[in-house]
């Protein structure tokens, strides 16, 4: 896939997953509004690319991946490349990583059909979550959710197409 590495398109990775096209990675990162003192949760580690980008903007990145194969490969890759402010966990992305919460920002890199309440609970007041929202079969909308004392504010951003956010940790792979 080296010849397609700089193309602005999603590419397949192991476990039937994809790495998002560079435009979407950049757009989601920009919309998240990460600051140097932020702790960020990424749901869906994949190859580790998005975590690497976030780690250059945030104090700390916690990433959770349902596929052990992807998590271990990303952890090894990120360590080898010198990314020392990223922790990769194997687990249920819909549950987040509550033992490391709260987070200032959450980026979900798989499509949810509803805003995951458990992830909202892991956000700080004033926290922001970006996620693709909509049916698993078809296109979704990228949504920006901001948490405040008054509740959740939702902003509809752009149309996207992501792999589905599924409950639980994968049994194989």
Would you place residue 142 in the very low, low, confident or very high pLDDT band (cuts 50, 70, 90)? very high
Look at residues 136, 170, 140 and name the one whose alpha carbon lies nearest to residue 14: 170
pLDDT of residue 16: 76
CA angle 43, 7, 64 (to 5 degrees): 10
pLDDT of residue 55: 98
Would you place residue 77 in the very low, low, confident or very high pLDDT band (cuts 50, 70, 90)? very high
Mean pLDDT rounded to a whole number for the chain? 92
Residue 20 annotated as catalytic: yes
Would you place residue 173 in the very low, low, confident or very high pLDDT band (cuts 50, 70, 90)? low
Would you place residue 119 in the very low, low, confident or very high pLDDT band (cuts 50, 70, 90)? very high
pLDDT of residue 2: 74
User: What global pTM score does this model have?
Assistant: 0.92
Report the residue count for the chain: 173
CA angle 128, 129, 135 (to 5 degrees): 150
- Low-confidence winner among 40-44, 61-65, 120-124, 165-169 (lowest mean pLDDT): 165-169
Question: Which strand (E) or helix (H) includes residue 61?
Answer: strand 60-65
CB 28 within 8 A of CB 104: no
122 φ, ψ (degrees, to nearest 5): -85, -5
pLDDT of residue 125: 96
Tell me what the mean pLDDT of segment 71-87 comes to.
97
Q: Could you tell me where the DSSP H helices lie in 18-135? A: 22-32, 49-55, 68-80, 117-121
Tell me what the mean pLDDT of segment 130-153 comes to.
94
Q: pLDDT tens, 8-49?
A: 777 777 777 777 788 898 999 999 999 999 999 999 999 999
Tell me what the mean pLDDT of segment 46-66 comes to.
96
Given a cut of 80, whether residue 131 has pLDDT beyond it is: yes
d(CA 139, CA 43): 19
* Strand, helix or coil for residue 70: helix
- Catalytic one of 20, 47, 55, 63: 20
pLDDT of residue 134: 95
């Amino acid at each position: 896939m080296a010849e397609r590495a700089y193309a602005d398109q999603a590419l397949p990775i192991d476990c039937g997953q994809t790495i998002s096209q560079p435009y979407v990675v950049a757009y989601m990162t920009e919309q998240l509004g990460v600051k140097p003192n932020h702790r960020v949760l990424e749901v869906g580690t994949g190859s580790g690319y998005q975590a690497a980008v976030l780690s250059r903007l945030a104090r700390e990145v916690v990433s959770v991946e349902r596929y052990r194969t992807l998590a271990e490969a990303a952890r090894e890759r990120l360590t080898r490349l010198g990314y020392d402010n990223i922790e990769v966990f194997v687990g249920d992305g819909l549950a987040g990583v509550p033992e490391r919460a709260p987070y200032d920002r959450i980026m979900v890199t798989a499509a949810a059909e509803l805003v995951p309440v458990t992830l909202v609970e892991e956000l700080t007041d004033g926290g922001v979550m970006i996620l693709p929202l909509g049916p698993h079969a078809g296109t979704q909308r990228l949504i920006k959710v901001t948490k405040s004392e008054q509740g959740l504010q939702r902003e509809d951003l752009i149309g996207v197409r992501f792999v589905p956010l599924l409950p639980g940790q994968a049994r194989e792979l």
